[in-house]
Structures are given as C-alpha cells and as structure tokens.
Amino acid sequence: MSESNLLSELIDALRRLPGIGPRSAQRIAFYLLERDRDSGRRLAAIMAAAMDRIGRCNTCRTLTEASLCSICANPKRDQSLLCVVEHPADIVAIEQATDFSGGYFVLGGRLSPLDGIGPAELELGRLQGRLAAGGVRELILAISPTIEGSATSHYIAEMAAAQQVPVTRIAHGVPLGGELEYVDGGTLAHAFSGRQPV
C-alpha cells in the first residue's frame, strides 16, 4: 500500500467522526504525522483498548468497562426513580446539570420504523422487564421532542401504564436567557401549554 493511499485512509477514517469534516480531518492527520506522532500512537492504542473493553451496563445499558456501571452499582442511588434517555451522553448531561439521584435506562436511539429501528433494537423488552419486576415508582422520560422522540415516549408511556408505573416527562420550552421572538413556534406552543403558576 502506498503512502498516499494510507494517508487518504487516515483522513477518511477521521472524517467518519461526528463534527469532523474533510478539512478538519486533513488538518488532524497532518498535525499528527508532522508534529506529534507520539500522541497519534497513544490515541490509536487507547481507541483500540476502548473498542475491545468498553461494553454496555447489564442494568441500564450505558457504556462501561464493568458489568455494572458506577451509577447502577451505587447503593445510594434511588433505583425506584428511573430516567429513560436516548444515549449515554444524555446521562452525563443530566448528572452534570442536575441533582438527580435515581437510575437510568439508555435506549440507544429512538423508534424509527423507516430506519429499521423498532422496540427490539432499543431493547424495550428489557425495560418492560424492569417495570414488571416492580420497584419503579416513577418513570421519567428524558427523550428529545422530535417526531420519533414523541412516538418513542408514547410507546414507553403505554408500556409503563400497563404496569401501573407513573410516567413523567422532562419539561420542554423556552431556554433560560432565550428571547421569545427567536424561539421556534413548536417550542413556544409547547412552553405555553405547559405553563405553571408563579
């Protein structure tokens, strides 16, 4: 394999990462090859180890090296409060921004029949099993308010209702510091219909 083909493959591999376009991928590749090969080797080694050793938590499906993540293994967490999120990054956001002390369930996406993503792909049977086992006193839906997210929330809410588990959904509306004239109509309508007493 010639050097130019290997360089092209490196740039193409970097381009596959989210948020990295062709120019950024090229800059990263040239930087690593011209100025910091040690960091490139370290990055490659860490990535290889992560691909081999990081899997899913047996309880909540977040990413972890152990069979149970640190949240599920923590006896101080209130596992009767179960928050359903789309991705492991959502857990990080909630943990950093709130004082939520319950457990989680990571879907890994949203229901999207056109993309071949149904209940089985999101392992909703596993979530249903947790609800059926009892012990969940509130199911909190923290799912994006997209069309697919709303359909997913509705599906999960029906599952929970069948097990007589109360369901709540995180509030959606005008962001802090946002000005009404710049908020889209759907968000404003949602915020208006969900108004609360002052």
List the chain pLDDT tens, one digit each, 198 residues. Answer: 445 799 999 999 999 999 999 999 999 999 999 999 999 999 999 999 999 999 999 999 999 999 999 999 999 999 999 999 999 999 999 999 999 999 999 999 999 988 999 999 999 999 999 999 999 999 999 998 889 999 999 999 999 999 999 999 988 777 777 776 777 777 777 777 777 666
pTM to 2 decimals? 0.84
What backbone torsions phi and psi does residue 17 show, to the nearest 5 degrees? Answer: -75, 145
Question: Can you list the positions of beta strands (E) in 135-198?
Answer: 138-142, 167-169
Does 191 reside within a domain? no
Domains identified in the chain, total number: 2
Token readout for 141 is 């839906």
**Claim to verify: residue 100 and residue 44 sit in the same structural domain:** no
Domain of residue 35: give its range: 3-53
Report the alpha-carbon distance of residue 147 to residue 114 in Å, rounded.
Answer: 13
Does 121 reside within a domain? yes
Helix, coil or strand: residue 179:
coil
**Claim to verify: residue 148 and residue 107 sit in the same structural domain:** yes
Helix, strand, coil abundance in the chain, percent, nearest 5: 45, 15, 40
